[in-house]
Structure formats: C-alpha cells, structure tokens
Structure 1
Amino acid sequence: MSYRRLAASAAVLAAGVALVPAPAHAADPASGRPGPHGVARPDRVGPQQREAAAFTSPADRSVRPAPAAGEAGAASADAARNEIAVGLKAFTTSAHGIEVDATTTGTANTVSVSVDWGDGTAGEETSAGGQTLTVPHQYGKPGGYTVRVTVTDRATQASAVNQIAVWTQGSHFTPHTPKRLLDTRNGTGASQGKVPAHGQVRLRVGGNAEIPAGVTAVVLNVTVTNTTGGGHITAYPDGGERPTTSNVNFAPGQTVPNLVIVPVGRSGYVNLHNGGWEGVDLIADVTGYFTKSASSGYTPMDPQRLVDTRNGTGAPKGRIKGYGTLTKPIEGLDNATAVALNVTVTNPGSDGHLTVFPGSGAAPAVSNLNFGAGQTIANAVIVPVGPSGEISIRNGGWNPTDVVIDIVGYYSPSGPNAYVPLKPDRLLDTRDGATWPWGPLGGRGYVYMPLADGFPHTKGFVLNTTVTNPEGAGHLAVAPDPNSLADYDNGTEQWPPTPTSSTLNWTRGKTVPNLVQAGTGPYGIIDIWNQSDADIDLVVDLFGLYEDN
C-alpha cells in the first residue's frame, strides 16, 4: 500500500464549514514520497457554526442627568435633555470580544460617546446625532459585564446614560473531583434499566454534585456497556436539536468509553441518545465543567509523552501491578489546575479498568477506560491536578498492565484561551464519496486540516475522531502541521515529522472513537495520521474551539 497524504478543510467561525476538493499535487520522484491531495481554501459560505449572543437596552431606558446649578444655557439644555437618548445593542464576536452599537436620538449635533466597559477600562468616541456608532472591545477574562454608555451633545451639553448587561461567548474551566453522575445499571442519576433502542436518558448536571446552575458545558466520561447490538451514543444539550454526529460507537458485547465535552441546556440537563437497535447501559462520570466566569483558561501543547511504563519514560519501568497505583507529579505547567491527556492501556494481563484522579489518595469510584486481557485501548482524559501537584493512575484489573500517557494541554488561572461550544458538525468522512473523492486514508498517510488558517486567535479544537473499517491494527496520531496552507497550495510543503504520540488504537475490523483536543500550531493546520500499514476510514466531528483574547 502506497503512502498517501490527504487534505481536509473547514472554516470554523461564524461563516461555517465546507470541504472543497482541489487537484492533487504530483509526487516527488527524488524523495520517493507521493504528493499530497489538496483542498481549496475554506469556503466561508457554509452553514452558521457560531451563534452570536445579542443583548439590547432600548433608548427609552436612557437616564438624563439634571443640569448643574448655574449652568450656562440651562433653559435650552433642559429642552435638549428632554429629547436626547441612546439605544444600545451588543453582540458577541469571539470568545472574549463584543461589539456595542450605540444609536443616539433626539439631536442632530455632534455627540461624544463615552463607554465604560465594566472591566475597569473605558474609551471615548465621536459620532453624529441620529447615527449608530459601533465600538468593539476585548475582555481579558470571560464573564458577565455591565457596559455603561454616556452620550453628550457637544453644542448643548445635554447628556443621556444607558447601560446593558453582556456575557462573553467564551467560558473557563473549573475542575471537579471525579464523580459518577449516571449509572443505569443501579439507578444512579436516572431510572434503573437499559436505555432503550433510539431512546435517551436525561442527565441533570447544573445544580447536581456541587456543579453550579448556569454551567455552559460539562466534561463527562461516557461509557456504554452491556451491549447486545451495534450503535452509537450522541450527547447534546437538553432542549436542543439532536445532531447527526456521534460521541461513542459500539459493537455487540463491547464496553466502550469516550470523553465528551457537551453544552448544558438552560434546564441544567444534557441528553444521551442511544442510536442503536438494542438497549444499552450508560455510565457518566464528571471531571469538570465550563462557566462564563473567570477560572482556568486552556493552554494547548504539542503532544508530548508524559509516561510510558514499557520503557521507563516518566515513571519506573514495568507494568502497574493489579490494583496498584502510579502517582505522577505534574511539573512546569504554570499552576495547572487540570491536565488534558490521552491515556492508553496496553499489555494488560486481565480484564479491568483504569481510573485517573487528582492527588495520591484513594481512587474515586469512577473509571476512565475499560479493557480486556491483551487489549490496547486509549481514551482522552481531563483530570484535576491535586493540591500537591500530582495525578494518579490506578489499575483496576487483577493483573499488571502497561500504561502510556500523552499530554496535549492544561488548564490554569493564567491560561489565555476560553472555550466556545459550536454546533456539532461532521468535517470529514472518508466513506462519503460525494465530499471526499479519495477514499480511505492509506497506511502511514495523513490528512491535513487547515481549520484555523487565517484565524490566529483560534488556538485549539475539540474534535471526535472515529476510525472504522481498518484493514489492520494501528493507531491514530494528531499533531500541528509545520507547513502553511500556502506551502500546500504552492507545492512547497515538507513532509512533517512523524508524531511520537498516539490518540486511539484499533485492531483489524474494529470501529474506535476518541475525543481529541488539538492545538493549531503556527499555521492553524492540524494533521491526523494513520499510523498503520493498512487503509482506514476516518470520521472527524467538530464540537468546539479554544480562542484567546
């Protein structure tokens, strides 16, 4: 099987997402490497992906200060004050950004427009009476702010004040001690019993387990078990339309976990839909949540190997014994409150489960991934860092197992990036010839995805990757691309270094999903690698992004 390099593209912002195939570059005979299949720049005419929030305070809410005693021209100013007003509309433009439209009425004169942004900063502009002035602003932290606008008629000194409450689009992360919110096997968080075919369970998040009301999104480890047929699980906010994307895929007899970052409905609930033809049991453990208040922002990293017990990287060499625990210090990450990891179990001597938790004490009654004897399986993990700067990994199996951990990012009070949930969207499905004419992704090849090309403030994406129809065993790797989109368009790209990290592992014929928090690197391009010698089909779904200010 020849190597292939393919490209997928999406504009991830207010404009939308589209895949636009373009001609393939010719192979380079001198290097022996085949040329990449390319795509055009993102089509920005696609469906709306980011829903901008709007806030309004009409002109009739304006307050007109009384004239100061002895003010010159008080009579004429009084008349003017009875007319001048300012109407306000505000719109979110990014994770931290807003625009305020201030429309002055009641005067045709030039006006001064003073804006107090509610974060300790202010500014002043000039506008014509009867016109709308648009003023942008970037907040340093996500949250709610009161914007106060004062307009002053420069001829009469008449003034009016109006204010508007706004909320940023982005949210910060708050770690939560891992806790089980749902287990349909015993009635935790829902009625006891399997979720029926094409049915769903409604899970309370806001106001549950010390999670505050008003959370915007929640981090759950969702596990499907006791499966008798194949299918998939879709997580989505209560009260919203169920998307066509998937979070967890399963086959008969499988127990499959996957990390989910899902928006929470206004009711405080999320829904977990069973897209299979038979009933399944569902388990959901929480490790954190997002709110529109300053807490911990995200810092993406190029994937780095943190632990590999097979060769002694970051921990003593040798498998973690049955029911044993490995404690790992988290160092050099600027007061990290939580870390984003990809955790892989390999060479297990028996069935079991792995639990990743903060600190070095007793493990909580939750799980991050489940495994069978001899199986290699991975799952994304977001875990709080304990007070002493440590995390622990407990082997819940009878016999020893090797563990491999890659770190892809971390959360901290100084983290610059806020999370913005997006309408779930399928970016790539190599099975769909209508949108992807090149078929399966070949062994040792990669797909390059210029998701943030041209948008330097977008620093990371939350994706769900699914490998299906694999013709052999292997693993998937995700890493930033060192080439620019111009390099690909001009045919001057260099073959990227092969990543040493892994995102998910599969065996022949199995369908395996895993969440990915992918950094965008220097040029906003993400590479997804098939690290096997055989073809695979690849599905990539988009769920959100991280953006700085």
Structure 2
Amino acid sequence: MQDTRIPANGRSTFAVPQVPDDAVAVLVNVTGANPDGPTTLSLPALGEPTVNLRAGETRANLAVVPIGNHSLTVAAGPNAVEAVIDLAGYYSANGTAKYTPLNPQRVMDATPVGPDGTITLDLSAQVPAGATAVTFNLTAANATASSAVTAYAAGQPKPSTANLTATPGEDTPNLVTVGLSADRKVTLANAAGTVDLSADLAGYYSPQSTQAFYPVSQLRVLDTRSWDGKPRDPITEGAEHRLDLSGWLPAGATAAVVNLTATNVSVATYVSAHPADQQRPSARTISATPGRTVENLAVIAVSADRALDLYNFHGQVDVLAEIAGYFAPARTACQRGCVYGFGTNSDGQAGNGTVGGITAAAAVYGLDSVVAVSDYGPTRYAVRSDGSVWAWGWSAKGALGAGPVGSGDVQGSPTYRSYAPFPVKIPGLSNIVAVSAQVALRADGTVWVWGQNAYKHLGPGFPHGQYDTPVQVTELNHVVAIAGDLDHTYAVKADGTVWSWGWNKAGELGNGTIGTDCESKAGDGDQQPNCAAGIPVRVKGLGNVTKIAPGLAVRSDGSLWQWGPRDTDRQDNAPVRVPGVSNARAVAAGGSNYVLRADGTVWAWGFGWNGSLGDGTEHTSYVDSPVKVKNLAGVRAIGAGVLSGYAVTSDGKEYAWGGGQDGLLGDGNERAKSLVPVPVPGVSGATGLGSNGYAIA
C-alpha cells in the first residue's frame, strides 16, 4: 500500500484504499528496512512504537489501527528508515464475518522451506467447514539468508506483499490474518535461503462465528521494568505472570488483541500467552534474544474472568503489553430508553465498546431504560429507570465512581490513558433520580459525590483526596435538583433555596464573595481566602427556584438569574437577573448559556465562538443579552457543550449548532460547524437530552 523512506524524526501520511466507510479499524503490516541507525517506526494513533529496529535490520509487525478519514500516519525516529506499509484487512462495524478464538495451538513446528519454496498448511482439522480466514502467529527461525515469507489462500496467486521478514541468527515472529481456500488451506512462500517456519493457530473467521471486533486506542496495561520508583519485576524462568484485563474488556469478551514487547532479555527465550488458569500450550507468542527489543501483535483467548497468563521459558525477561482491541459478542440494538453518544472518542466516551476516532451518533453499548444522562469532562453518566447509575469514558482520578476500572493502576503499571469504553455500574447508588458531574441525587433527597476533591467540589468537608466510590454529602437533605461542572456543584432544596460548593475564583459560589489570590500556591489555591467552599453555602438572595444549571437558576415566576464569570474581566459574585427573558422553563450551561422558554423557543448568550449561540453569527466577544436561536420551534429539552448547543423538538428530532472540532454536530465529521441548528443524523424519537448532546431515545 505504501513504500517510502521516512527522514529522521519525520512522518508520512497516506491514504488507506479499498476500505468501506463503516470500517472501524484496519490491519496493517508495518515493515522497517535499511535504517540509518537504531530507530523505531510508530503509528501515532497507537502511541507506542510498532517496530524497534537495530542498524541495518529489516523487521515487520502487524498492527490494528482505529481508522479515521481513511488515512494513516507513520513516524520514524530517531533515525531515518524505509517503511513498507501493507494493508492486511479491516474490521467493519457491520461485517458479517465474525471471529472464534481458540486456545493457542501449534499447527506447524519448525518445518524447513527452501529458496522460492512453498509449503501448504492444512487447517481442515482445526477449523470448521465454511471458515473464511484464520489468524496465527508465524515464526521464522534458522534462516540461511535474509528473506521474506508470504502467506495466502492456497490455490490463489501469490501477492506481492510479505507477512514476515527472516534474518539469519534471529527468531522472528509476526501475527498473520489470511484468507483460507475452500478446503481450508494456507500457502506459505519463502523468498530466499532456507528458513524453518512454525505456526500457532489463534482463531478463525466464519459466518457462524459470533465474536465482533472492538478497537481501542492502544493502552499500556503491563510494564515489568522499573518506573517512577516501582521496582523491576521481570518474568523469571519457568514463571507465569497473570495479566488481568477485566478493567478494559466487557463481560463476555473472549479474546484480546495485545501488542507484546520483550526487552532486557538475559538469554534466548520465548514468551507464551494463553488464557489464565488453563494448561499452557506449546504455542509461542514472542521469541527474544539478548540485546534486542522485540514486539509482536497477538490475538489471545482470555479466561472467563478476562485474564491472561504470560509464561517465560528461560532466563528472565521484561514484558510490556498494550491492548489494541478485543473480541466480544456483537451488540444487539437498543429498543427503548437508549443513550445516543457522538463526537470524540479519545477516552471511550462514545460508550460503544471502542476507543479512538470521531463517532457519529449511535446507541451506547448495553444501556437501555435510561431516564437521565450527564457528564464530567470525558466521563459520561446515565440513570436507568431502576434507579441505578452507569458510567463510562475517562476513568482516572475516581471520575468513574466505580473504583479503578480501566486504570493502569489495576496492574500496578504506568498508563497514559485510563478509560472504560463500555458502561459499568456505580456501586452503592440506588433509587437515583438525577445525575450530574460526579454528583447524584437520591429519591430521598440525599446527595452523593465521588472523584477527585481538588477544589472541594465534592463538598462533604473532606480534605484534598480522591474518592473512587460515592460518599454522601451529609450537610444536605431535602434536595430536589442538582447540577455540576468540573469544579462546582449546586443543589436546590425543597424550599426553593440554592446551595453551592467548590471553586470560587470568579464568584461561582454565588454567595456574595469572590476568591483572593486563588492561584498563588500551586495545588493549594483553594486554601486562599474565599477561593473555595467544602461545605455547601447558600446562593445569595435566591428562592422559589425550580430549575438549575451551573451558575444559572429559573424561579417559579419564570425569571432567569445568573452568577459567576461572564468573561475574562467580569463576574457576578451574587445572582443578577438575565435581561429580556420571561417564562423560562429550562436552562443549560456550557461554553454558552441557553434557556428554553414556555413557547418552545431557545435563547442563548455568553461566548459565541464557532456559532455556538445559534443565531447565524460567529461572535468574537461575550454577548450579555440573550439572542434567539434560529430555526427552532416546539423544543422540549436543551443541552450544552463547550462549543455547541443542542435541542430536542416535540417530534423527537435532535438539533445541534456550533461545533468546529471533535465531531460536535454528531455527523461523524470532526471539523463540522454550523452557525444555525442542523439535525443530528441517526437520532429519532428523542425524549430527553443531557450535556454534550447525548440524547435519550
């Protein structure tokens, strides 16, 4: 597909041909050749190096890459290297050929193949009739010359691409996914010299298989080297290291796609990965020798509790592991009370079981009967009709509320991302009627919070710290409504009063005070005078409040009130009435502010970047008086994003405006922008709306 020389610390972007629009990931074989010195080839979409190369070395590694805009970028460094990128296949969201994982089994053992020679691998005894493709780990050993090995369906013309490079004196593995002939055979062709080939079968594709593929942005889940004060913990001779993947794989997942790297090798060895607590097979996942860092992508069946065992044959070795995806049962369509998420999926906030890329509006994995939805940055929350709360997306710093799900800390190893790409139930919460940013309201009027308490916005008077599971705000009761954002939380009591806690640098508490010198001490700004409140304080002068959003309140007479920052130079430290608004019915706050009036119209004010006020104008300064959002009537729910606004109309359609980044209009286009409302494709029958445009339908 691509053959180019990449300069030192340079990169190249190229188109991915012959991939359908519904492809969620591609399989590419990345080969590095003729490097000027020790270097790596990386796919920035994955983060970690795909191939590590010594001077003069030629080597390949298969990679699974979430695909966006039908293009891929490959980077080299620190030295220049020739890169050969071959498209090996793709995974489609609607593909009919699903996967069946197998416990790794050796199907060819050190079989010599001569120059320009071929050998046929007969898999008819291992895979059923009708199987269309197989995945196996191919290893070349005892090569007498530098060579290339190609796998293809028996009886078909040999393709020009190579699956594996063979080097004298080295054992070289690479994962292969290849089509089968009708009689379930694969041909292996060797280009030069003689090489011993071994194959370890990992699974097969067939119309009868049930496991669909879900890609995730590559996340490191194991690193046995020393880091940040953690002592080195290599896998010693004859030992097995258990790798628990339950934090990232949903219940029912049957196989993980893992990029394994072996380094700091004491003597020649191999590492075998297999389902935890099962008998170790003879199959080898990665072979390694001293002085080399070797990587290999593997598709490995997991145990029922979603774990792997990594066995080291000889000496000791450090192992790194990054998840690239997994196989799990294909999702069934949600029928009612579904949450439709869209936009950036960098931390799994689309909730569709994948991570990475920009998504169009689609139902969240496994959720139905939802009555409310909200967020905390890239973390999402939903309340189901049974009063349970479910969370997905970014999971660091306790944001998920469900413990260390999706965090590298589960393994005691470093991670640059922590996420749950599918909803998990938050423990300890029941009879919940509303949810917002790290805060939930029970039917009995009590308030519960979780996450990091950096600016006291958890509220129970706790010191700095992190609360992985919910705790009660004991100072509050008789609460009927809640609202929150990243650093502040608000509650309405049954008597119509409003209470707030958290950060107060710009009057966010609304109690008539404003913080002094709040950022004078790194990490301790909330200790400065009036900069934060850990115990709820009353918002000054407000009563008879019926609806609330961060810094906004609607009173029973339909008047609208605001407090906190307006722009970089102005703030209100106590509520003031928003001019020109009457008969207010609901409010939403984000980068801009929105109010829904009783006549079904929507009005907006605040910052209007990228057209987020929806009035057809791209405002460059703060707008004080609300302007009418164009082309909307019969609106029954509103929502806000950082650069966008959303509305659901009485006919169940969702509309979005603003945008310009992160796919905020819900159409899968990362940079789409509109100065007036446009329909969100794929959403119909909507009954409710949360922040960032997540609709309930």
How does the TM-score come out when normalised to structure 2?
0.36
Using the size of structure 1 for normalisation, the TM-score is 0.45
Asked which structure has the greater RCO (Cα within 8 Å, sep 6+), the reply is 1
